[in-house]
Structure 1
């Protein structure tokens, strides 16, 4: 019997161990859940506490369901809304939320390890913020929060998620796979891109774009632009909706045919371009004729058109005496020669002392008519908006739309805002750029004469570094502009600006960081932007005075980008 007892004991031990193993495996395999309660604000502010009465729920705009949070910063209050969320110790969670409107922050405190947060500048459409955190050995509850920023517009939040092991505090029901998107339509086409839009799908947290049955990109909102297409070619597109439960069936297909080569927003230009301002005056830099402009420059912006007595209207007067007797006929002939060499020559409106104002419908019409008249008179390919004293997004958009209708799809449209103008999508310049995105060639923000500025990661960066260029470019790249519409604007020499000059090596490193993820500073973008349009300088004249060091280095580098 001892042998039998021993065998029975071994069998019992094995069965017990097996049972424990199965139980442990069952716990380990338990599905992660969203531990946040009332995550979509469908029950008002239940489970949420907002500082100073700053929060309320609204029925529009919403990301999913029928409600969303609207929180308004006021005075010294940043509209902080919080929820205590039950979690498990020693566990990793993904924190996310969909936001829009003013500056919006998402974060968590009380993790027992490293508290984390993320943020975004103003956004006119829903954008997902996501970060991860790990709890400490004794952490059973964390505080999740959203907040805005002092003096900024209200922000909206919806569909908050604290996704990970069940903390035991209960949460919202698990999502179901969303329905297939409806309303898929073609918005605009160029020779190399197709813009699509579709209806919001309840419960969806993202969308996938398919071309001929193959996924080509993802989107967080209800629109997307597919680039890299061939001219005069027909393409079929479908959309799916996604959330944590899975991916929907594909939408009904739509077909779009791209335009002929050279049509639309300057697509006849190279993939990567170098823009240089040409000075119609002598301020100590090398005096040039258009024919003298260095060959590295793809777009030559003639500076500047001037305001007239008619509101919104502009004119251009060649400074023949200041330019050594340069005649109008020679000027026109030089423009034609540059164009024959594949370059674009445009008229720039504004500048540091420019006082062009487009503030109503009449001045918008005057602006469009006068710019188009200059294009016809001198042969300009388009216009550059370099208004450094603010602009009205509504009427400048109207003016540029009217000009586009007159000039046709080959219009070159560039902008050169100051850094402060592109810190937020609520600013007039940023709004205008987004409003005319389908006809916009490139925005070359001026990374000079600005002082320190916020980057897209919420940190403050000073002029003179790779980080200043990349972290500020990130705001535009993630704020709605296509990478092919973003350029870096820098002085060609220390004398070209009051501050902000950096060596061509710094410019090239920033271009590499944004397009390839190499040569970055402390800031490294979350993704790369191979289609980044290029770089701009003030000016071709200061570049010439410095021995063409800028165009020889940056120009060659831009044209060698992937």
Structure 2
């Protein structure tokens, strides 16, 4: 969202998301290479590739006689990974030689900030490197490489992780755990237990092929899940010498739940209300059109305390605090939700550690108490830390209760990959998340879930990019289409309301699609969002009259 209708630059967004292609300096000679079979000279083991997408080929190889070849298919990005023992509070350099289009390299579970790097196109072998420091309790990390949806097979070879070794390599790696069982379930969690493995010092839990937890005992509870959803779990055992093969998988389905404030309609329209005058129609909350189910007040401001925010009505609006509060209460009595938005184009709220996460939660809750807001919208266009924003939102949820409304408005680049910070945050809190209204504007052409590039301002752009979120783990009820209300509302990306409605029908029913048609339908798609209710009013309410009526008529 923007205060002046101008998006941030794509290059800035790329840097904020940590998606920068780079070639780093060589590792120190004294460091050990901790990756096992990084040259793929001994087959694929101990690498694990999603959907059996990986194989070892003899040519082309960067060195030796083997290289990894992995082929993305459908919504699978062909991620291949292994878990490596490391030492706490230590520095590591990750490197690989790759070939192909949109090839990624990264490390997760670092205990600090997970890292990734990528190349959009490597017609010949190209080196990728990145580095990280482990946290105070980190004893293992997962290194991975993957391609991109709809792209051809990629190649990787000579993958290395250099730094202090995690233990005595003479100890044998443990065997795979047995007896994995799913126990109690809730709308957002599944309890797991398994038998101990001889020689294991810990265990890794995998959800749908991706590592989600490391624990020291023989049980774990996986949280952050969506209601009424089936998940596949596996467990491995680890020690200083490495990680075992994965256990036999079990499948568990979470119980039904509301997934956010139950008062938000099944199909909803979100609109941003401007607490400033930039040439659009000046409104009071009472003036906001009745088609809007969620009204996001833009914006709260950062304070001098890290992570904390505050809100003050713009004096230019001639709007008393008492009238503002009364108007919020009246909208709520009419079944609407009014939330406070954090960020915008010029917002600089930083939540980068536990203290700032606590400050964020406390200050947002204080605004909810003061003004009666139903929740919070995260519209940070300069990047966010998924670890600590997750911590902040969960702390806020604990204070506010089950009716808390949480929305997000990431830019398109922030939702291109599940490894990006915004996407990871959304997945981390999806059990309490209401909707992600990605901004389908001010971005230019972007990749869809089929790997093809689609031009901004088309039905295909809306549907193929929404597909990434829908196939990346968000529930249909947590996906909305964010568009400008008029040509003056944003620098680019405006489409006629009829295009928004076509995209919603394509996603929900498979009708009125462009050249891209999803492989399945998503009848629970939440709806749409616009910047802003003020620009909508300036244009005679054309957007809310057309899109709002269409959304509310969806079955």
Question: 1:350 touches 1:387 (CA, 8 Å); kept in 2?
Answer: yes
State yes or no: 1:399 paired with 2:392.
Answer: yes
| Structure-2 separation of matches of 1:472 and 1:252 | 29
Query: Can you list the C-alpha shifts for 1:176-206, whole angstroms capped at 9, x where unaligned?
Result: xxx99942245542xxxx6547689xxx999
Gaps of 5+ in 2: 1-41, 49-54, 69-79, 85-93, 104-115, 121-141, 162-176, 195-205, 210-221, 235-247
State yes or no: 1:322 paired with 2:304.
Answer: no
How far apart are 1:257 and its partner, in Å? 6.5
Relative contact order (alpha carbons < 8 A, sep ≥ 6): 1 or 2 greater? Answer: 2
2:381 to 381, 388, 401: 388
SS in structure 2 at match of 1:385 = strand
Query: Can you list the C-alpha shifts for 1:417-463, whole angstroms capped at 9, x where unaligned?
Result: 01111111121111111111111110000001111111111111111
| Structure-1 separation of matches of 2:545 and 2:179 | 49
Query: Can you list the C-alpha shifts for 1:488-547, whole angstroms capped at 9, x where unaligned?
Result: 000000000010000000000000111110111111111111111110000001111111
How far apart are 1:147 and its partner, in Å? 4.0
Question: 1:181 touches 1:239 (CA, 8 Å); kept in 2?
Answer: no
| Structure-1 separation of matches of 2:323 and 2:223 | 50
Question: 1:51 touches 1:79 (CA, 8 Å); kept in 2?
Answer: no
Q: Please show how residues 242-261 of structure 1 align to structure 2 within 5 Å.
A: none
CA gap 1:318/1:481 in 2 versus in 1, 3 angstroms? same
2:287 aligned partner = 292
2:521 to 494, 515, 528: 528
Q: Please show how residues 48-447 of structure 1 align to structure 2 within 5 Å.
A: 48-49=58-59, 51-53=61-63, 55=67, 60=83, 74=97, 145-147=153-155, 182-186=180-184, 188-189=186-187, 196=190, 225-227=226-228, 265-319=260-314, 321-323=315-317, 325-447=318-440
CA gap 1:549/1:145 in 2 versus in 1, 3 angstroms? closer
State yes or no: 1:479 paired with 2:457.
Answer: no
| Structure-1 separation of matches of 2:82 and 2:99 | 27
How far apart are 1:303 and its partner, in Å? 0.3
Question: 2:462 touches 2:481 (CA, 8 Å); kept in 1?
Answer: yes
1:456 to 449, 459, 462: 449
Question: 1:78 touches 1:147 (CA, 8 Å); kept in 2?
Answer: no
Question: 1:279 touches 1:303 (CA, 8 Å); kept in 2?
Answer: yes
| Structure-2 separation of matches of 1:494 and 1:360 | 39
Query: Can you list the C-alpha shifts for 1:230-251, whole angstroms capped at 9, x where unaligned?
Result: xxxxxxx99899xxxxxxx997
| Structure-2 separation of matches of 1:269 and 1:181 | 41
| Structure-2 separation of matches of 1:499 and 1:445 | 15
| Structure-1 separation of matches of 2:81 and 2:233 | 27
RMSD, aligned CA: 4.4
SS in structure 2 at match of 1:413 = strand
| Structure-1 separation of matches of 2:232 and 2:410 | 35
| Structure-2 separation of matches of 1:412 and 1:335 | 15
How far apart are 1:126 and its partner, in Å? 12
Gaps of 5+ in 1: 1-37, 62-70, 81-100, 106-122, 132-143, 154-178, 208-220, 229-236, 242-248
1:544 to 518, 533, 537: 537
Question: 2:339 touches 2:377 (CA, 8 Å); kept in 1?
Answer: yes
Q: Figure out how many residues of one structure are paired with residues of the other and give that number.
A: 404
| Structure-2 separation of matches of 1:454 and 1:498 | 20
| Structure-2 separation of matches of 1:450 and 1:147 | 29
Query: Can you list the C-alpha shifts for 1:379-434, whole angstroms capped at 9, x where unaligned?
Result: 00000000111111111111111111111111100000011111111211111111
| Structure-2 separation of matches of 1:300 and 1:487 | 14
| Structure-1 separation of matches of 2:363 and 2:394 | 14
Larger radius of gyration: 1
CA gap 1:264/1:420 in 2 versus in 1, 3 angstroms? closer
How far apart are 1:124 and its partner, in Å? 11
Query: Can you list the C-alpha shifts for 1:341-382, whole angstroms capped at 9, x where unaligned?
Result: 111000000011111111122111111111111000000000
CA gap 1:500/1:311 in 2 versus in 1, 3 angstroms? same
TM-score between both structures, scaled by the size of structure 1: 0.63
2:483 to 490, 502, 523: 490
| Structure-2 separation of matches of 1:282 and 1:455 | 35
| Structure-2 separation of matches of 1:130 and 1:418 | 19
Question: 1:491 touches 1:501 (CA, 8 Å); kept in 2?
Answer: yes
TM-score between both structures, scaled by the size of structure 2: 0.63
CA gap 1:517/1:344 in 2 versus in 1, 3 angstroms? same
2:553 aligned partner = 560
